[in-house]
Every structure is written in C-alpha cells, then in structure tokens.
Amino acid sequence: MSLLVVGTVAFDAIETPFGKTDKIIGGAATYASLAASYFTQNINMVSVVGDDFPAETIQQFNDHGIHTDGLQVKKGEKSFFWAGKYHNDMNTRDTLATELNVLMTFDPVIPQSYQDCTFLMLGNLMPAIQMQVIERLHNRPKLVVLDTMNFWMETAMDDLMKVIKMTDVLTINDAEARQLSGEYSLVKAAQKILKMGPKYLIIKKGEHGALLFNSEQVFFAPALPLEEVFDPTGAGDTFAGGFIGYLARTKDISFENMKRGIIFGSAMASFCVEKFGTERIMNLEQDEVDERVQEFVDLVQFDITLV
C-alpha cells in the first residue's frame, strides 16, 4: 500500500503585500507530499527537476519519508519556474511567469517499487503527463485525486477533459470551477463538472473554506479565520496532500471519511499560508497538527434543539 504523488517540483518567486522572495522551493508535488507526510508513511514522488535543484531539498523530502526514486534530475537543464504576485485580498493572484523548462520533455517513469500504489495524487502538471501516469500503473489505484489549474484549462483543455474522466476526486478552486463549467453558481458548476466524470468534486474557496460534492450530497468546511495570511502559495496542494494523506492512513474512501479528510487538508493549508513557501510545512510537529485540527472541530461545533 502506498501513496504516489505526481506534480511539479519547482522554483517559485512570490510577491505578496508582505514581501517578496527570490527563487524559493515550490511546486505542487512538493507541497502535496510534504503535507501527506504528516499522515502516512509510504509516499512515492514522481517528478522532474534540473541540476539547479538543491540536493539538500531532496534530502529533506527523504527525511519526511518521501521516496524520490521517481524524481528525475536532468543534467544541464533548468527546473520548472513559476512567479506570481498576490493582490491585496490575497485570494487572487497574477501569474507573472511560467517557465516549463524540464517539464517540456518530461517522461514520467514509474519505478517498479512504486507499482503497489493504492492512492494516487495527480498534482498540478500537464494533463497529458497526469494521464500517462495512470496508464503506466499496472493496477488502477483505489483512489485517484486530480488537481489542476486555469493555466492547463487555457493551454491543454482536450487532454484535461480526458484525464478528468479517469479520476475519482477533482480538486479545483472556485474561479477554476466557473471557468471549467461556464456556470457562475458553484452548485450548478458542480453538477456540470460531476457529469464530466469524477465521482467527487472539491471546490476550494481560499479563506472561505471548501465544498465537497458528489451527485447526492454536499459538505462544507470553513477555513480557519487567521489573523494574517502571509503567503497563500501552495495552499491548494497542501490541502490536497493533507486530504489524500489522511485517506491513505485510514484506507477509507467513503463520503463521511472524505469530510474528515477535508478538515485535515484545511488544517494543513492553514499552516502553509503562515510563512513564505514551504517553510512552515517543512518543520511541523505532530502536536501542532493535532491542535490545529481540534481548533477546526471547535470552530464548527454547535448544539441546536429544534422546537
């Protein structure tokens, strides 16, 4: 039993109202696998970087129990680079640069030792590559979760539609749900998107929490009201990593357990935004995670007696 995480491992340059970074470590697979590492042991990463990527960071992944046999390091090539600038509300951002670099020729090789994959997290990446990973697994995993973003809707919509059809849970943000469905109402958007293939849809709404839909039910989890959101980069991937990490630990993919998974994912995302990049989720203590989850429970618990 293992969790396979696919996605970008990258350099990011981030600008928020609080400050600016030079190139720091980022990437969808980075955030998702680090978040999952607080819940489950057997995590395998598939991605690609250039030889500009620090060996110490790969060591930090290993220290978190993340196996990197499937992380290709390309000699003489540059890692994926993304730059973004957040608006004052911190919920919206402009992408300033997306340099695919090593991603352009990425051929995702799945090591034999990864073939026992039961949970698959297809983090943000070219949809064609996400699809290749599903096809290259000898057995279909018990649960396939897919994350994507507007960039791929604009540049690779046909491939994206194909891979969406092959997944169990799609996670996107509210703007992406509207873009994908052409519907403003998120309830209508969810109905349309569920018809595209996935059994479950999670719509992330930043500081306004997340919605989980299947064809009959809906669940809402708030985000923790934080005094300060420092840097939202990676919050979505961290959320997804916490969600699938929790499901992998409990081996239960029922709607009820997904509700709990969403709370664990939201708790991890709330840490991610407290500092720039991966700084916070790289160095968490288990106690902090437990306390944060308890804060969520307290936040939404109430008694009502209907008269």
* Closer residue to ligand AMP (CB): 174 or 237: 237
Question: Considering the rule CB under 6 A, would residue 124 count as an interface residue with ligand AMP?
Answer: yes
Q: Kindly state whether residue 233 participates in binding ligand AMP, applying the rule CB under 6 A.
A: yes
Nearby residues of 133 by Cβ (< 8 Å), 6 or more positions away: 4, 6, 46, 108, 110, 120, 122
* Spatial separation of the C-alpha atoms in residues 239 and 242, rounded to whole Å: 5
**Given candidates 50, 127, 234, 242, which one binds ligand AMP under the rule CB under 6 A?**
234
* Cα 172 to Cα 24: distance, rounded to the nearest angstrom: 24
Which residue in 6, 10, 66, 211 binds ligand AMP (CB under 6 A)? 10
Candidate residues 83, 117, 125, 221; the one interacting with ligand AMP per rule CB under 6 A:
125
Q: Is 21 in the site for ligand AMP (CB under 6 A)?
A: no
Measure the CA–CA gap between 172 and 163, rounded to whole angstroms.
14
Could you say which of 98, 115, 214, 250 contacts ligand AMP (CB under 6 A)? 98
With CB under 6 A as the rule, give the number of residues binding ligand AMP.
17
Of positions 12, 77, 176, 231, contacts ligand AMP by CB under 6 A: 12
26 belongs to the binding site for ligand AMP (CB under 6 A): yes
98 φ/ψ angles, rounded to the nearest 5 degrees: -130, 105
Residues forming a β-bridge with 16: 19
Neighbouring residues of 230: CB distance < 8 A, sequence distance ≥ 6:
16, 18, 273, 274, 275, 276
Residue 5 binds to ligand AMP (criterion: CB under 6 A)? no
**Residue whose tokens read 């708790």:** 267
Q: Does residue 281 contact residue 271 with C-beta atoms inside 8 Å?
A: yes
Interface mask toward ligand AMP for 162-181; x: CB under 6 A:
--------------------
Region near ligand AMP per CB under 6 A, out of 129-137, 182-190, 231-239, 246-254: 231-239
Of 124 and 181, nearer to ligand AMP (C-beta) is 124
Residues 138-157 that bind ligand AMP (CB under 6 A): 149, 151
220 is an interface residue for ligand AMP by CB under 6 A = no
Q: Quote the least distance from Cβ 84 to ligand AMP, whole Å.
A: 7
Rounded Cα distance between 52 and 250, Å, is 37
Is residue 82 close enough to count as binding ligand AMP by CB under 6 A?
A: yes
Q: How far is the CB of 242 from ligand AMP (least distance, A)?
A: 12
* Residues binding ligand AMP (CB under 6 A): 8, 10, 12, 26-28, 82, 98, 124-125, 149, 151, 233-237
